[in-house]
Structure 1
Amino acid sequence: MMAKMRLLPGATGANATKRDGYDAGAAAAMTIDEFERWFVRAICLYHAEPHAGLGGCAPAQAWAEEARSQGPLVPLGLDETALVRRFLPWVERTVKAYGIQIGYRRYWHASLASRIGQKVMVHFDERTIQEVYPEVEGGFVSAAVVGHYPDVSLAEWEAARNERFRAGRAYQDNGARAEAARLIHANRSDVLSATAKTRRAREARKRAEREGTSHTRAPARATAEPASNWLPVAELGEDTWLKRIE
């Protein structure tokens, strides 16, 4: 089986020396879904081929012959979905107010609300990040991912995250760190300059206060109006007796 897989485009192989100069990433051609279909068919082909260890019988043939001599291998009425989830990989998580967290992603199901603070076994299917399967009261519930996530496999999601981290590191190495250092230095210089100016201003004010100089504005001087020059009534004519004389 491994020999057949090493013939696929993009296979890295087990010998690093032999793949010197071989760009596996550039040669890769299959998606995860396509490889999964290929792998299932390869397994079916393997079970149909004769094996020397089985006396020349194929594994599928040996299984069928042995099954006929046994009773039912799977109980009738068994929940096949639960059986599949039972064989999935699992992790233990403590239920929080927001649900459970796996790989920076949060998942929620209503049945978790009464189990906050408790530990639960969470099974997950690596073919999707859309849901996980906490074990609740002997069964499984489908806890959906919280937020908007693409319907991709766990491997695809991790590969995309790693690529983003690599891009982030490349951005930092391409001058972002130097620019950040320049901005930090400029900010520190402004703080030191402002501190020095404020200190000098306070010292100047205290010195002026000791010398008796007030920093309050002097009140504006009132402008005195000129005194009125009034003439006796007898000297006023008809046109001038109501007019002010400057």
Structure 2
Amino acid sequence: MGTVSEELKGLKGATFANPRQKGEYDAEGNACMTFDELEKWLVLMFARYHRAVHSGIGTTPLTKWREGILGTREKIGRGLPPIRTDAEKVRIDFMPYEDRTIQDYGVAIAGIHYFHDILRPWVNARDPKDSKRTRQFRFRYDPSDMSVLYFFDPDLKRYFAIDTFQILIRRRR
């Protein structure tokens, strides 16, 4: 991630490494891109990176990947990995997450409350490794759409979509 960090530092409106360095700098006021524009910029930056010769491997990362998958004259390739058929699970797996305990009201992340009946059995659940502690559960979310959390049920080994409490209240009206 050093390459990404260095590239980001060169952007107009870049912030600092820590809050002390930032001081009174108005990061929002000096921003030069929206989140959508930043996402596009990152895609292009990674595309360039994978096609540029890397000093540590003496070739491009894309060439090295192809050699690993397809092989070379000297070495047999590994072949393509199996294709995941559950696209939604893959999408959720790559989302950021927060580990939280589940309370009577459900769970709160970023000041937003979420609840679903699937959470009820886990309210105030004890940690299986330390019964003195309340168990934490993984909740994934899409930062661009905080109306839904994804709760991973450790017994059922699957994700459940959990709506915000505000949406539940609106539905009942």
TM-score (norm 2): 0.66
- State yes or no: 1:34 paired with 2:21: no
Structure 1 residue identity aligned to 2:52: E
Structure number with larger C-alpha Rg: 1
CA gap 1:115/1:36 in 2 versus in 1, 3 angstroms: same
- 2:9 corresponds in structure 1 to 6
- 1:142: Cα distance to partner? 1.2
Where is the strand percentage greater, Structure 1 or Structure 2? 2
Distance 1:20 1:60 in 2: 40
CA gap 1:21/1:145 in 2 versus in 1, 3 angstroms: closer
- 2:53 corresponds in structure 1 to 50
Aligned length: 144
- 2:111 corresponds in structure 1 to 104
Supply the RMSD in Å over aligned alpha carbons.
3.2
| 2:40 counterpart SS class | helix
Structure 2 residue identity aligned to 1:102: I
- 1:125: Cα distance to partner? 3.0
Q: Provide Cα deviations, 1:172-191, integer angstroms capped at 9, x if missing partner.
A: xxxxxxxxxxxxxxxxxxxx
Distance 2:116 2:122 in 1: 11
- 1:242 corresponds in structure 2 to none
Structure 1's unaligned 5+ residue stretches are 149-246
Structure 2's unaligned 5+ residue stretches are 71-76, 126-134, 168-173
Q: Which of 65, 68, 80 is the equivalent residue of 1:63?
A: 65
Kindly, what percent of the aligned residue pairs are identical? Answer: 26
Where is the helix percentage greater, Structure 1 or Structure 2? 1
- 2:128 corresponds in structure 1 to none
- Aligned residues of 2:84 and 2:90 also touching (Cα < 8 A): no
- Aligned residues of 2:53 and 2:60 also touching (Cα < 8 A): yes
Structure 1 residue identity aligned to 2:35: I
- 1:139: Cα distance to partner? 0.6
CA gap 1:42/1:135 in 2 versus in 1, 3 angstroms: same
Distance 2:56 2:43 in 1: 22
Q: Provide Cα deviations, 1:38-62, integer angstroms capped at 9, x if missing partner.
A: 112211211111112222x211121
Higher relative contact order (CA 8 A, sep 6+): 2
